[in-house]
Each structure stands twice: as structure tokens, then as C-alpha cells.
Amino acid sequence: MFKRLEAWLDSRTGHRALLHMALQERVPGGARWRYVFGSAVTVLILVQAVTGIALELYYSPSTTDAWASVNYIETQVWMGSLLRGVHHWGASAIVVVVALHLLQTAWAGAFRAPRELNWLAGFVLFQLILGLALTGYLLPWDQKGYWATQVATSIAGTLPVIGPKLQTFLQGGTSYGNLTLTRFHTLHVVLLPAALFAVIGIHVALFRKHGVTPPDLPAEELDRKAEPFFPRQLLYDTVVSLVGVGVIFMLAWRLGAPLEAPADPSSQYLARPEWYFLPLFQLLKYFEGGAELVGTVILPGLAMGFLAALPFLHTFLSRRSPRVHRMLAGVLTLGLVGVGGLGALAVQSDRSDSAVVAMAARAHEEAVEARRLASLGGVPASGPLDLYRNDPLVWGHRVIVTQCQKCHLACDTVPYTGSPCLEGYASRAWISRFLRNPRAPHFFGNTKIDDMEPYTGPQESADALTEFIYSQGGRPDVTAALAKKGEELFESEGCGACHTLDEVGSGLAPDLKGWASREWTYAFIRAPGHSRFFGELNEMEAFDHLRLPEEELQAVTAWLHAQASQPLKFP
């Protein structure tokens, strides 16, 4: 039954002959493990194609939706995290296996006649794969993709003459936006894959025409050991492909794919490309000022030029020494080792730089925070950056960092040279430390305000005063009796000589009625020079509605108010 059906099908399609042609290709010298890499890359590319199509069902290429849709894949789509993980690690695996394929064919001398054009086709495939890798990691529109890809397009912009136009063309505008995403998306899922599969077709066709590059053995031995592609070589290819796909799966299962916080053009993000572009990144560090083109374009161009010109270089050199192909393969290998070394240097210099490590840690925290906020109620249609507005504390802190930390430095800055630092502001610890030493650098030591004398009374009294002042902020955890005692001390210890408690103020020192409450802080930031606050002593700029819009100030106020339950961050 099956035989008859097959015979019927064969008389219509001729598939037996096709299969025979595919499987019975003669491998001179016999099957070898070292021939597996080309097939393995093909299998990995097919895995990328099917996982890419599945990802495409959920991905949305716009600046407001891209990050949200990728986060949706990670958190809501069944097996979405695994899917994205396979696509992510598959890209890395392809780069590794392509490098192995390159080394194997180079040492076999596959660039020699008559296979020059196939070498060139392979070179084009290599470029297309790098292009796919580069365009791919912009698509999530997260911090990493956004900032690392900026470097690549900026390099295009530095090219002489055509640079600026080329950059605008690639980006779809003078800066990154929706058009950048739609362009990179079209490149990544339509143009580059179409070109890739077309050139793979050429690469395989030329390979079938000339056959595998045989080992350097006598012709009769090659003939004697020759065997068809099926079964042994096909089995070898399949085994290695399965190992590759298995490793990718393990990595995807265990580690998933990274998703940083949403792209934020106003942030200071540590731009680092994927590992396979780190050598290029490292190269940029060595060429300063006017010489930067050497690192960005000329050296990489020379290296790629050498790779592409290898067949013709060999034709030229082999007239004098026929075995020069080994030397050329050696040069290529050394070059690859050098490229790997550059990448290792980049990794090492980042690992040993504590500032870089700290920035990476903060980027990780921000990613976790953004994804937590997204899980609370979806990403606003206006874009993922508005996520932060869902949470006044997170948003307030962002405003503090951009607006306030020019003067009010982070408390752990060493040495501390700023205005009073704000972490832990108005907590009991903050107040009691302040009473004992208002001129400490983390308080008013770096300002011209030095009128207040340290409080030198007994600790018991200091605690009562602290509780009283703390109670002004509208806190739920005030010990009433202690605060009452502090209120009496406030007068008897002479605080009232400068500080009023009437919401009007004297101009001598801030009025302390409702000190550090939301209302007090709000009014203070709007007009710190008001007589209710520092009056003529004031050094802080006033933040009016134009400098700090209402909703931003509300967020800042919420953040500052919450500091009373936070620990101090200075010794």
C-alpha cells in the first residue's frame, strides 16, 4: 500500500532521484567529524527561523509597544520565555559555529581554486549573520539594545562624506524613534533573512558542485576511503546539530534571555554590545580624537577585506610557494585569536572597574523594577517610560536623580561636598544626628548656613526633641508622650529663639510646624527663600511650576516623605 503510494508520488514528483542525489553525494576520504559545522549552522539558522516566526506573532515594533510586547512574551505567553531564550542563545551559538566552520574550511584550504566564489558566498553569509545579530537586539527597545545600537549607527555617522546621510537613512530620521524600529525590524525579519536563505542556496549549490575540500592525501587513498554522505556523514551532522540545539535549550531553560529596563533616552546607561561585538567595542578605546575612524572603520574593514580577498591573495602568493595556504590559514587563526583577545580585554576591564560593576548592578535593579511595575497593571499605551509614573516613589526618585542630585549628592558620595543629602531625610536617626552636629558635611557643612549650634544636652532630652520634631511630619508611629516632652524642651532649651511653630516663620530659621510633612516639603521646594523657611539665608534655587511640574513635585514629595522610614546612607 505504502509502496504503491510512494511509487505514485515518485512518478509525479521524482522525489526518489532528488533524495538519492542529496544522500549519495560522494565524500572523498570518508566521513569526518570536522565536516559537520556547515550543516550545524544550517540547522541552527532553521531553529532561528521558526522561533523568529513564533516571536513575530507577539512582537510589536513601535517605541511605545516594543518593550511591553517583549515583556508580555516573557511573562504572559506560554513558553514565551523559553522561546525568546532559544532565539537569543541561538544567535550566540550561530556566531560560535560559524567561527568553527570558518576555521575548518580555512585550514582545509577551501579558499583555493576552484572554490573561490564559494568562499566569497560564505563571506557574504558571515556579514549577513552579523547584520542579523546587530539588528536583532535593538528590537526589544530596552536599555541595552537602545544604547548599544546607538554606537553602531553613530559609527556609520562618522564616515567621511556620506556619514550623516547614511546615519539618517539607517535610523529613518536624525534620532532614534519609531522609524528606527520599523527599519531594523524589516531588516531583521524580511530583508536579511531573505538574503541569507538566497545566499545559503548559492553556498550549498557551489559546495555540491565542487564537493568537500578533501584532506591532503594521495588521490588513490581518497578514492579508496570515499563513501556517500549517507549514512555516516549525515549521522555525524545530525548528532552535532542535536548537541548544539540541546545546549541552546539548556541555556534558554536555565538563563532565559535578558530584558533590561525600557529604553530611556534621558538616562545614563552603560552601553555594552553583545559579546560578539565586544572586540569592536574594545578597539574603539585605542583611537582618540581624529584617529577614531582607524578603530571604527579602517581596521575592521582591513580585517574583513583580508577575509574576503583570501582566495585571490592565495592565487597571487601560491605562484612562489605552493603550500602558502597553510600560512594564510595560520594568519586567519591568529587574527581570530586576536579578535577574541580584544573581547576578553573588554570583559576584563569591565569586571575590574567598580564603577562599571555598580552601573551594571543598578541597570539590573531598574530592569527588575520596570518589570515589577509592568506586572501590576500592564504597560500604559503611552509607552513603558510612563510605568514609572504608576509608582510615585520610583518616579520621585528618578526626578531626584535628574533634578536634585546636582547639589544634593547621593549620601554615599566620598568625599561628601554637596548640600544636605536626602536618603533617610527626616528619619529619627537623621534628626538626632543633625541636632548633635548640624555642620556635618552631610547636613549643612557645605553651605553658608552655620547659625545653628549643636545640641549638647543629655541624650534623653535629645531623644525627646527628636521625637517631637519627627512627629511634625505626620508620621503614624510617633510616641505621643515622648513627643510631648520634646515639645516642652523645645521652648526650655531655646530652640524657639530662632525656630517658630506657627506656619508663618521668622526669617531667622525654618518654621518647624509640620516640618517634613508633605505640605511643608511641597511649599519649601516651591519657595525655599520664603520667610517661613530659610528667608535670607537661603541658597537653594526655587523650583516653580516650569522647572518642576506639579505632578513631578508630588512624586518628589512622596519620595522625600517616605525617606523617614529609610536608613541613613552615611557613616
Partner 1 sequence: MSEPSSSPPTRRGFLGALTVLLGGAIAALASVPVLGSLFSPLRTSPQKDAADAPVPVGSVSEFTVGVPRRVEIIRSVTDAWSRSEATTVGAAWVTRQADGTFIALSTICPHLGCGVNLDKQRNKFACPCHTSAFSLAGSREEGPAPRGMDPLKVEVRGDQVLIHYQRFKQGTPEREVV
Query: Which residues would be at the binding site for partner 1 (CB under 8 A)?
Result: 24, 26, 30, 43, 46-47, 50-51, 53-55, 57-58, 60, 64-65, 68-69, 71-73, 76-80, 82-83, 86, 223-224, 226-228, 230-232, 234-235, 238-239, 241-242, 245-246, 249, 252, 377-381
Gap between the terminal Cα atoms of the chain:
86
Choice between 232 and 484, CB closer to partner 1: 232
**Residue 9 or 79 having the CB closest to partner 1:** 79
**Among positive and negative, which fits the CA dihedral 173, 175, 180, 181?**
negative
| Rounded least distance, CB 492 to partner 1, Å | 55
In whole angstroms, what is the distance from residue 47 CA to residue 471 CA?
Answer: 63
Residue among 524, 426, 530 nearest 478 (CA): 426
* Cα→Cα distances 178→66, 165, 173, Å: 10, 18, 9
Is-cis flag, bond preceding 380, omega within 30?
Answer: no
CA proximity to 233, closest of 16, 37, 43? 37
Q: How far is the CB of 77 from partner 1 (least distance, A)?
A: 5
- Region of 378 on the Ramachandran plot (φ > 0 left; ψ -120 to 50 alpha; else beta): left
413 vs 418: CA distance, rounded Å: 9
CA 377 to chain CA centroid, Å, is: 24
Comparing CA positions, the residue from 273, 300, 285, 297 lying closest to residue 149 is 273
Residue closer to partner 1 by CB (options 181, 283) is 181
Q: How far is the CB of 485 from partner 1 (least distance, A)?
A: 49
CA-wise closest residue to 455 among 467, 438, 472: 438
Nearer to partner 1, 83 or 483 (CB): 83
Instruction: Say if CB 207 and CB 38 are below 8 A apart.
Output: yes
CB of 245 to partner 1, least distance (A): 5
Q: Which is nearer to partner 1, 43 or 117 (CB)?
A: 43
In the complex, the smallest distance separating the C-beta of residue 237 from partner 1, rounded to whole angstroms, is 9
**Beta carbon nearer to partner 1, 83 or 495:** 83
Q: In whole angstroms, how close is the CB of 325 to partner 1 at the nearest point?
A: 27
Contact 310, 328 (CB under 8 A): yes
Q: How far is the CB of 18 from partner 1 (least distance, A)?
A: 17
Nearer of residues 47 and 483 to partner 1, judged by Cβ? 47
Q: How far is CA 150 from CA 174, 367, 395, 431, 490, in A?
A: 12, 19, 25, 46, 58
Is there a contact between 508 and 534 (Cβ–Cβ < 8 Å)?
A: no
Closest CB 286 distance from partner 1, rounded Å: 41
| Residue 47 in grid coordinates | 531553529
Smallest distance, partner 1 to C-beta of residue 58, A: 7
Give the nearest distance from C-beta 212 to partner 1 in angstroms.
15
Give dist(CA 199, CA 146) in Å, integer: 30
Q: Which is nearer to partner 1, 58 or 287 (CB)?
A: 58
Determine the residue type at 319. Answer: R
Is the CB of 51 or the CB of 472 nearer to partner 1? Answer: 51
Residue (71 or 563) nearer to partner 1, CB: 71
Counting Cα atoms < 13 Å in the Cβ hemisphere of 13 gives 10
